[in-house]
Amino acid sequence: MNENESEQTAGILRSQGAQPCSHAEDSDIIIINTCAVREKPVEKLFSLLGRLQHIKKKNNACIGVTGCVAQLFKNEISQRNQSVDFVVGPDNLWKIPEIISSLSQSSSCIIHTPRNRQWREIEPIARKNHISGYVSVMKGCNHFCTYCVVPFAKGREKYRPLPYIKAEIKDLAEKGFKEIHLLGQNVNSYQDPESGKDFVSLLKEISPIKGIEWIRFITSHPKNFTSDIIKTMAETEKICHQLHLPIQSGSDAILRYMGRGYTRQQYLEKIGLLKENMPDISLSTDIIVGFPKETEKDFSETLSVLKQVQYTNIFSFRYSKRPHTAALKYTEEVPFEIKKQRLIQLQELQRRIQLKANQSLIGTQMKVLCMGKSTKNQNSYFGRNEGFQVVNFESASDVTGKFVTLEITDCGPYSLIGRT
Ligand code: 5AD
Ligand code: SF4
């Protein structure tokens, strides 16, 4: 999502005549787009701002901070860093050119973080990738999981009107894009603001668009993930048999403290239905370890979910306290060392699961969308299969942006190797 918003920011600046440059040292405008979901990226921002001070001194570059850290820590950013000229929240990217123009009249940091209650279109988007495109369908979140800062940073859910979504996908198709990812914090709760059409209708209306061959969407909340969506995925040729469905924990007690709104059993029933309808489905998930009150037994239940589901990939994190969140009230913290150990144990288990699953693919043929040349050598390329796994391969001709059929010859836990 942040990548998409960075590309929107770049698009806005380009439309005003700005040009990208390869080194921060040479630039007149530096914008740092930020993520606040976990503690680490927030710390990174402050250390980066410290490092940028010499550029500010050297060429008086204008420095801005955008995104969720900007929304949540606006005062801290402007007070701690004299070099920051503006702080703009995720709802206000369109305002950046106006703010930059007004900077000469202002010696103090400009803070602009009002909330948008409705969807606001941003064009054009300066995309880096011309094969696979993110298409935003909604923003914000109404769920308030107890650990999560997103609803406070991004605000409540706002849905993009369906005609804009269709127009953007048609435009991408005309430009030669082969794949789209529908993007939103909770894509399943999508509702067209005009017609009230839901996520299933959205999928059905976009799938006939010619030129786009693979459709994916991220992120789904297990609570709103219905059997209707599963049926539509199974019946619609272009929708990839791939799904990211964050479970966060395998323990019912922890899921309850997290306020996730489903039990382990309910989650696993949805996984069962997905596998029944699409036996080849590739699944991934998000997991938090060391949430307050998490016991060894709770953690072992998370490990057992991994063994049962056999995810293609997981994204796992140590719990970190976030401002405004309800989980701050839980005083029974898991010590850092234990969180660290649990994360290692979880990732090691998943590494073994992935390696075994990948090894079983050796000798099979699969369709891969080539995303470009890899840096390895002249004829090396990389792409993704329908399950969203990275596949590296050699090709005598440039197949960037094309679908190729590869035979898998080797693998590691995190990627596959194929040949044409
Ligand atoms: N601590 C650790 N991980 C978190 N996530 C969200 N909030 C926190 C937090 N406070 C993780 C969740 C979410 C992903 C985007 O980030 O797993 O799905
Ligand atoms: Fe955060 Fe929960 Fe909303 Fe996801 S569903 S963005 S984890 S509050």
pLDDT digits (tens, 9 = 90+) for 215-247: 999 999 999 999 999 999 999 999 999 999 999
Mean pLDDT for the stretch of residues 152-172:
97
The answer to whether residue 274 is domain-embedded is yes
Residue 171 belongs to domain with CATH number:
3.80.30.20
Find the residues whose C-beta lies inside 6 A of ligand 2: 141, 143-145, 148, 150-151, 185-186, 221
* Residue 416: how many other CB atoms lie within 10 Å: 26
Tell me how far the alpha carbon of residue 139 lies from the centroid of ligand 2, in angstroms.
11
Is residue 340 domain-shared with residue 371, that is, in the same domain? no
51: in domain:
yes
Secondary element (H or E) of residue 132:
strand 132-136
| Distance of alpha carbon 219 from alpha carbon 247, whole angstroms | 12
Do strands 282-289 and 242-244 pair parallel, antiparallel, or not at all (unpaired)? parallel
Q: Quickly state the pLDDT bin for 99 (edges 50, 70, 90).
A: very high
Residue 291 included in any domain: yes
The percentage of residues in the chain with a pLDDT greater than 90, rounded to a whole number, is 87
The tens digit of pLDDT for each residue in 254-308 reads 999 999 999 999 999 999 999 999 999 999 999 999 999 999 999 999 999 999 9
335 upstream amide cis, omega within 30 of 0: no
Q: Does residue 59 sit in the same domain as residue 194?
A: no
Provide the pLDDT confidence category of residue 56 given band limits of 50, 70 and 90.
confident
Say which CATH number the domain at 58 has. Answer: 3.40.50.12160
- Whether 104 shows a pLDDT value over 80: the answer reads no
Residue 333 CA from chain centroid, whole number: 28
Q: What's residue 319's pLDDT? A: 97
Average confidence score pLDDT of the chain: 95
Residues 355 and 398 in one domain: no
How many structural domains compose the chain? 3
Parent domain of 45: 2-112
Q: Ligand 1 centre and the CA of 126: distance in Å?
A: 28
Contact 160, 141 (CB under 8 A): no
Neighbours of 167 (CB within 10 A): 12
Residue 125 belongs to some domain of the structure: no
My answer on whether 223 and 325 are in the same domain is yes
Task: Establish if 119 belongs to a structural domain.
Answer: no
Considering only CA atoms, which of 111, 87, 79, 90 is closest in space to residue 6? 90
Does ligand 1 come within 6 angstroms of the Cβ of 248? yes
pLDDT score for 401: 97
Strand pairing class (132-136; 179-183): parallel
pLDDT at residue 376, rounded to an integer = 74
Query: In this structure, are residues 88 and 112 in contact, taking their beta carbons and an 8 Å threshold?
Result: yes
Query: Does 290 share its domain with 392?
Result: no
Q: Which of 359, 375, 394 is the last residue of a domain?
A: 359
| pLDDT bucket at 352, cuts 50 / 70 / 90 | very high
Residues 215 and 177 in one domain: yes
Please answer whether residues 392 and 381 qualify as being in contact, where contact means their C-beta atoms are separated by less than 8 angstroms: yes
**380 and 341 share a domain?**
no
How does residue 57 score in pLDDT terms, banded at 50, 70 and 90? confident
Contact of 311 with 285, CB cutoff 8 Å: yes
Helix boundaries (H) for 263-364: 264-277, 296-309, 336-359
288 ligand 1 Cβ < 6 A: yes
Q: Are strands 86-88 and 62-67 parallel, antiparallel or unpaired?
A: parallel
Examine the fold and report which residue of 316, 332, 359 is the final residue of a domain before the chain moves on.
359
302/285 Cα distance (integer angstroms): 12
Tens-digit pLDDT profile for residues 299-345: 999 999 999 999 999 999 999 999 999 999 999 999 999 999 999 99
Ligand 1 pocket residue status of 225, Cβ below 6 Å:
no
Q: Is 261 left (phi over 0), alpha (psi -120 to 50) or beta?
A: left
Q: Provide the pLDDT for residue 54.
A: 84
Residues in CB range of 348: below 8 A, 6 or more apart: none
Is there a single domain that holds both residue 309 and residue 398? no
Q: Which ligand is nearest to the CA of 184?
A: 2
- Contact by Cβ (8 Å): 157, 138: yes
Q: Is the CB of 86 under 6 A from ligand 1?
A: no
Q: Which long-range contacts (CB under 8 A, 24 or more apart) does 24-30 make?
A: 24/52, 24/55, 24/61, 25/55, 25/58, 25/59, 26/59, 27/55, 27/61, 28/59, 28/61, 28/62, 29/61, 29/62, 29/64, 29/100, 30/55, 30/61, 30/62, 30/63, 30/64
Residues 140 and 227 in one domain: yes
Q: Which of 40, 285, 317, 325 to mutate to test the pocket of ligand 1 (most atoms within 8 A of CB)?
A: 317
Q: What is the DSSP letter of 136?
A: E
Of 236, 174, 175, 173, nearest in space to 202 by CA = 236
Eight-state DSSP code of residue 248: B
Q: What is the pTM of this model?
A: 0.95
Q: CATH number of the domain that 392 lies in? A: 2.40.50
Helix (H) or strand (E) holding 404: strand 403-411
354: Cα separation from own chain's centroid? 21
Pocket test for ligand 1, best of 147, 220, 330 (most atoms within 8 A of CB): 147
Ligand 1 in reach of 316 Cβ (< 6 A) = no
Say how far apart CA 48 and CA 30 lie, in whole Å: 12
Q: Which of 128-132, 337-341, 382-386 has the lowest mean pLDDT?
A: 128-132
Name which residue sits closest to atom 4 of ligand 2, judged by CA.
185
One domain, residues 235 and 334:
yes
CA distance 99 to 44: 25
Same domain membership, residue 372 and residue 253: no
**Range with the poorest average pLDDT among 34-43, 155-164, 331-340:** 34-43
How much is the average pLDDT of 378-393? 96
Q: Rounded distance, CA 159 to CA 80, Å?
A: 35
Is residue 239, in this structure, part of any structural domain at all?
yes
Q: Confirm whether 164 is domain-assigned.
A: yes
Asked if 149 and 271 sit in the same domain, the reply is: yes
pLDDT at 106: 67
Q: Is residue 42 situated within a structural domain?
A: yes
What is the number of other CB atoms lying within 10 angstroms of the CB of residue 259? 15
| Omega of the bond leading into 232 within 30 degrees of 0 (cis) | no
